[in-house]
Structure 1
Amino acid sequence: MEIKTFITPFLKSNMYIFIEDGHILIIDPYATEELLQKIRKWGGSVDYLLLTHEHYDHISGVNAFKKEFECQVLCSKACAERIIDSRLNYSRHFEAYCIIQNGLKKGEAPKVEPYSCTADDTFSDYQSFDWQGHTIELIETPGHTRGSICILLDKTILLSGDTLLPEVKTETKNYKNGSKDFEETSKPFLKALQPDTLVYPGHGEKFLIKNYQF
């Protein structure tokens, strides 16, 4: 299996593309015409778009990919309820969000139009499915947002979104019970993973979970 990483201009978020036997799985899609053209040239089938959470910098390519490849969008039910609302997915006030949450100066933060998209399939708590000989597990990990999930591939690779980022503590101020949800629900799951689980985060470089300081 081949794993490709693309860094988006929106807060340097990571989009991951998994390729296996002509089939493609995309995590947190971002789209430009150049990127879509590149994927067309690869050929094969874009099967799924998986969303780690509802923030605009992790969903901005959903509509373009669905239009181009007719792929299915999977996310948590809580995420699906928020990606349809430009206020809740932060696109309506994305510039202000970048300034407040990430310390960017006015003029440095990207300006975007209010954006919304929809999911084709949702779940609560847990869902798993087989994809090209691999087991994909979707686990709700609230804390960063209500709709946050982690994606576990073959028990060895974790796509963490913004639930785990390298060398920083999880940001849990986006909703009232974020810290409580993370401590009671998400942290126990994460700490129980195998030490050599390789984490592909929503921002930054991949790391082994045994090296993360909870």
Structure 2
Amino acid sequence: MVKGICLQVVENQCQAIHARSLLPCQDTPFVKTTYTAKVSAPRGLTVLMSALQVGEPKPSAEPLYLTHEFNQKIAIPSYLIAIVAGNNQSKELGQRSRVWSDRAFLELASTDFADTEQMLATAEKMYVWGGYDILILPPTFPYGGMENPCLTFVTPTLLTGDKSLADVIAHEITHSWAGNLVTNKNFEHFWLNEGFTRFIERNNAGRLGGEARRQFSSHLGWSC
């Protein structure tokens, strides 16, 4: 964070091999590690990571800063290390899920992603990460979603007001097992990450909405 500059949101995108720009690491998916972090940021900024927050932010050595602590106890590949700081607000979606966004998107996001807790319950045996946060990034974010553990990044273009694109959240939740826990050995086989995720996501869609919904999703996949 550059002192004296107030930024709406600062975030990283480590997939596929960009974690090396944050820290010295082996950036093949085969190598996994746990991590802890302490992040010092100006008061008033929200800091989130792909890990669980440890306690409340504490006063930093500098009076205008707070120190945020995080702990990821489950070993993950380096491309899933994520950090964000910005002027974000949040709204609870369920017992363990929350959406973070600029104020302008917050109400719309909480409406579109209102079924997140139900999606988590459907994938219960696969989801071992604790809390589940969704972060709405600026429109410049070049992907639909990114499955960082505990902190899914999504584009605001998913916000339609009718939940029609909320299946992206189900997809990213499924990555919590297929990709985050069970990971392809290297990026040559990255198609396994998406392939298994799509298969499980459609099965979960059937549990949520019935067999016809699963079949329709599969048909769309063959058509696209």
Q: Same fold (TM over 0.5)?
A: no
Normalising by structure 2, we get a TM-score of 0.29
Bigger relative contact order (CA 8 A; separation at least 6): 2
Structure label with greater radius of gyration: 2
Normalising by structure 1, we get a TM-score of 0.30
